Structure 1
């Protein structure tokens, strides 16, 4: 009798452990991931100021909102598994970007620009693919291609970005082997809307922007990392081609498990 009771207790214990590993009766196991929750930036001359950027996520671990300087700056919405819109607001300005898809890939992004709630203009971004990567974007304004953007890759990192309007600007980037702070909230496709690179998986070590008149803006990044190879601090030093400083910026990255 005692032996049967012991076996029953063990069986119940195993059942409870199995149940705890599931999110629901028919759902797969949910593995917590490390996601960027806050960026602390210290910058400015001659008196540095501290700024905070806060990230929130939805139940599928996708960026939901970004707040900056204590105010919600960007809101992300999704239709199923696809990013549908990015709505950004700053002061009396609002930019709404809406995505449309073809064959599961973002084919077009319509951007609308508002001031004091009134539509003031807009552009349409059309993506051109090579394989599964966006290599060219046409920015259409009032029926005319006003800008062309070109992307070059090394693996999954964007190592080259060229912007062609009436001038041709080139950006070249060098990446390391450790992780980007956005590693677990990466985009499957670049969108050309966010001002930060949430596509490349690795840490950006250096970049240089080259202008047609010979001017250059150079950026050197020095990171420290945690035990999971995520960056926790960043010193960014920007210089002109002459070597003159264009600013120094310090960042701290905080994460949460979701």
Structure 2
């Protein structure tokens, strides 16, 4: 049995999707980020960085794993699925996984902060992060023009990138003119395990859409978290 500590974010959904795809039994522990539950001592004992997601594998002596990319690798290696065993195949998957971890996630995350949550609107920052996110989408689209999946077969690399790409509207990043990215996005969205994974837990609003229904409460919570982070950093300077 695995316990998944998570919230309704792209990084959280990466892991719940993988668990559903792999058919591993798991218990869900949803943390209220707006209340700072990820900073409580009991969770910091699992993830010293105080971020979701994290897992505890009770079948492996209560072994804790944090960082979403590291969790995906751990689960793939634990089951022998969603990542090839040969060195070249494994490397291809890891390259595209790192592409998401080092590029797509951070750029879209910053786009979200400045486009949706930051108390002061800074157009240059919004444009910079949205433009870089779009450039990364174009890299994906170019690659997917010649490949069904990112690394040969459907893998943790597809799961990781898809969990962020699906939220492009919330980041204010268009995907018009990227037909191969759209084809790949829709193919993954149609998978039953993926549909289950993005409901574990369900988001208060659908981050794959840009409508405003229910977004005020979500944005206020996120904005308070941004300000909480700034205050914490300033107090340490």
Give TM class, smaller chain. under 0.3
Greater share of helix: 2
TM-score under structure 1 length normalisation: 0.26
Please give the TM-score of this superposition, normalised by the length of structure 2. 0.28
Larger radius of gyration: 1
